Structure 1
Amino acid sequence: MKAVIMAGGRGKRIASLDSSIPKPMFRLCGKPILEYQLQWLKKQEIDEVILVTGYLGHVIREYFGDGTGAAPEGGRNIGIPLKYINEESPLGTAGALYYLKDTMKEDFLLINGDIIFDIDLERFYKAHQTFGGLATILTHPNDHPFDSGIIEADEKGLVRKWLHKEDKRKWYGNRVNAGIHILSPGLFLHAERRGLFKQPQRVDLDREILRPLIEDRQLYAYMSPEYVKDMGTPERYRMVERDLLKGKVEKRNLSRRQKAVFLDRDGTMNEYRGYIRTPEDLVLLPGTGKAVKRLNESGYLVIVVTNQPVIARGELTEEQLREIHDRMETLLGEQGAYVDDIFYCPHHPDGGFPGEVASLKIPCSCRKPEPGMLLKAADKYNIDLKNSWMAGDSERDMRAGKAAGCHTAGVGGLQNADFTCGSLAEFVDFLLGREEGD
């Protein structure tokens, strides 16, 4: 597979750190962002990398040369052949693809040049092949969704809506475009039919190439909790440098075993108000945002597992449940926190409710105290259950956690748990304090 890196960015917000180099050449722990990217691509056995340069592009070319150290001008020996497309005038985030339309005959990777990441490419590519669309974008939750592009996709990964920063939004799921894409060659024909790539011109990748694929059901999203962060501001830059020093970046690659904290929802994260039927009914408990944020920063995956029998009883649709969870993710995002995924059980074994959904009135393996949701998450994210925790406020949460092989934390003074605590915040204090002690 070939890879294309869009390395022409100037980085206006981060230029205060150093305006003499292009954004992809900013150094983290003594090494340019772009060098981290190229070293990762080498590990993934990428055949060739095409660097699209612009602002101060000569700095990149002089540093890397042809990637093998064999070019007349020398350069860093990365071990991957490098080619360059230099934009004499800015062509936006996708205009330079015009120069590749006749040479890209197979699926290829397209990466933003200002991100640090470590992902399992094999998983990502298998998902793209399964989806069968013209493009698959990697999406992830982040700690600033309010100023990011939000992707809405169905359970099969098909993108239904793309909200840009300027688009009106109320409640939204924290599923953000990460800047890593797998594109199929048919994408060029799709763009040409819309009048693009007839000649070199300024083109916006998200708005003019990818977003129009939604109507034709050709755009898919691959959701991943793996490490992907941009260096858009000096604050994020310093955060990424800390994460590199701690080894956090490579640990989140899903080829490695992950640790998770599974959280019950009602009574653990938000106020218990019986069955919640509207977004406004969901109110986070004090300290929830801060506790979840600390788990995010610690490297634990944070996964919600919740029984929702109101769906089987016909009192709530799955779309309405999505809106409730969108509010929860919005409220967490406002505090710089996020959950990596949400699993819910829509079943209920008992009948006799007006409007009930007969197909969901069944015994199942996912309704807590059964461990099905935890086991499904473990399979999806390569989770080491014996080093993970289930935190909840009911006996069924504890039984589900134990059945899955996890440690258990009883919230609200719940006994019969490995650790009993008054709140989620107290549990996080205990968990992270114990790890610091180790």
Structure 2
Amino acid sequence: MWFKIMDITAVTSIGGKGTRIESISYGKPKGLLEINGKTVIYKIAEQIALCGIKKLFLLRGYKSELFDNEIIKIENQLDLEITSYIEKEPLGECGALWEIRNQINSKDVLFVLGDIVFDVDLQRFIDFHERLDSQFSLITHITSHPEDSDLIRATNGTQISDFKFKNQEKNNSFRGFLGNAGISLFNTEILDLIKSDSNIKNKTVFRNLAYEFFKLFKRIYSYNTSEYIKDIGTPERLKKVIEDDKNNQIKEKNYKFKQKCLFLDRDNTLIKCTKGNYILDPNDIQIKKDKISKIINLRK
């Protein structure tokens, strides 16, 4: 298979303890939990290697020595050169990015959270990033748990206009449903532009890199996809991912395969609207509630 030469370094953070899932992980790091015979970190590495990226940095922390054998296995089976940075103290999701900055020589960084399982056409995402001449792009998706998610709004479809953090107090003016999927692509020089704040212990790409860049330049893009991306942060989510993988529901959502699409009319299909009138005020919207159950069935 022919690959475009990628001027991209992949970085994955696998240092978290996974306290919410310890009832079934029994102290094992989340990245080493298995999805039908493959560890989470192996499945992430597979996706990275498939799009032609050759270099992967692993930001390691909690029980980092347990990853050694899995890393050897990945390097032997996948076309990836893996470098590890082991944190002496927890630096949060992305705090170690500034520690390895001088070792990243590529134009861009593909950052992937270490507790997600996904099957995404990453080449399409990279093409989107390059086509828009973007310095910072986030993969987003409609979240099934907005109350426990970082959210964005992209009012024109791609350019992000607002952020909301999962630990932030409810903001009644925020009407967002696109969740941060945990995969981002950004220009390496942003790490020089935005300095690491030593007072912030739990740094995240979404809040301490993407949002800080947004405040400076307001030009950051959302790549919204319906492809499969789920975190395994709770026992229920892990069980669902294992079930979906068994049923081949993860792979089939990749945009390399044809997808089903349903187009719905709005006026007098989804909302009530008198013939000849237009809905100009949000307060005039009346949902045709009898249609909701039908749409739910179509979605299934």
TM-score strictly above 0.5 = yes
Say whether residues 1:235 and 2:242 are aligned partners. no
Q: Give the counterpart letter for 1:28 in structure 2.
A: I
1:28-427 residue pairs with structure 2 within 5 A? 28-65=35-72, 67-69=74-76, 77-105=77-105, 106-155=107-156, 157-165=158-166, 166-170=168-172, 172-192=175-195, 196=196, 203-215=203-215, 216-272=217-273, 275-286=278-289, 288-296=291-299, 298=300
Please tell me the root mean square deviation across aligned C-alpha atoms, in Å.
Answer: 2.5
Number of matched residues?
Answer: 287
Superposed CA offset, 1:392-430 (max 9, x none)? xxxxxxxxxxxxxxxxxxxxxxxxxxxxxxxxxxxxxxx
3-state SS, counterpart of residue 263 of structure 1:
coil
Q: Give the counterpart letter for 2:235 in structure 1.
A: P
**Correspondence for 1:7 among 4, 7, 14:** 14
Contact 1:98 1:199 in 2 (8 A): no
3-state SS, counterpart of residue 248 of structure 1:
coil
The whole-number CA distance in structure 1 between the counterparts of 2:185 and 2:88 is 26
The whole-number CA distance in structure 1 between the counterparts of 2:200 and 2:278 is 56
The whole-number CA distance in structure 2 between the counterparts of 1:98 and 1:200 is 13
Q: Give the counterpart letter for 1:9 in structure 2.
A: G
3-state SS, counterpart of residue 102 of structure 1:
helix
Q: CA deviation at 1:211?
A: 0.3
Q: CA deviation at 1:289?
A: 4.7
Contact 1:131 1:157 in 2 (8 A): no
Structure-2-length-normalised TM-score: 0.86
Superposed CA offset, 1:94-118 (max 9, x none)? 1110122122232121000111111
3-state SS, counterpart of residue 209 of structure 1:
helix
Q: CA deviation at 1:172?
A: 1.6
In structure 2, what is the equivalent of residue 25 of structure 1?
32
The whole-number CA distance in structure 2 between the counterparts of 1:24 and 1:60 is 8
Contact 1:150 1:162 in 2 (8 A): yes
The whole-number CA distance in structure 2 between the counterparts of 1:163 and 1:108 is 23
Q: CA deviation at 1:134?
A: 2.5
Q: CA deviation at 1:85?
A: 1.0
Q: CA deviation at 1:184?
A: 0.8
Q: Give the counterpart letter for 2:42 in structure 1.
A: E
Q: CA deviation at 1:295?
A: 4.5
Superposed CA offset, 1:345-395 (max 9, x none)? xxxxxxxxxxxxxxxxxxxxxxxxxxxxxxxxxxxxxxxxxxxxxxxxxxx
Q: CA deviation at 1:44?
A: 1.5
The whole-number CA distance in structure 2 between the counterparts of 1:133 and 1:197 is 25
Q: Give the counterpart letter for 1:241 in structure 2.
A: I
Superposed CA offset, 1:208-242 (max 9, x none)? 21101113124221121211111122222222122
The whole-number CA distance in structure 1 between the counterparts of 2:226 and 2:43 is 19
Higher RCO (C-alpha under 8 Å, 6+ residues apart): 2
Contact 1:229 1:240 in 2 (8 A): yes
The whole-number CA distance in structure 2 between the counterparts of 1:172 and 1:256 is 32
3-state SS, counterpart of residue 260 of structure 1:
coil
3-state SS, counterpart of residue 36 of structure 1:
helix
Q: CA deviation at 1:90?
A: 0.6
* Deviant stretches of 4+, over 6 Å: 197-201
3-state SS, counterpart of residue 108 of structure 1:
strand
In structure 1, what is the equivalent of residue 3 of structure 2?
none
Distance 1:37 1:289, change over 3 A: farther
The whole-number CA distance in structure 2 between the counterparts of 1:268 and 1:290 is 13
Q: CA deviation at 1:178?
A: 0.5
Q: CA deviation at 1:177?
A: 0.7
Distance 1:268 1:285, change over 3 A: same
3-state SS, counterpart of residue 112 of structure 2:
strand
Contact 1:24 1:32 in 2 (8 A): yes
The whole-number CA distance in structure 2 between the counterparts of 1:130 and 1:25 is 36
Percent of pairs identical after alignment?
A: 27
Q: CA deviation at 1:33?
A: 1.2
Q: Give the counterpart letter for 1:173 in structure 2.
A: G
Q: CA deviation at 1:294?
A: 4.7
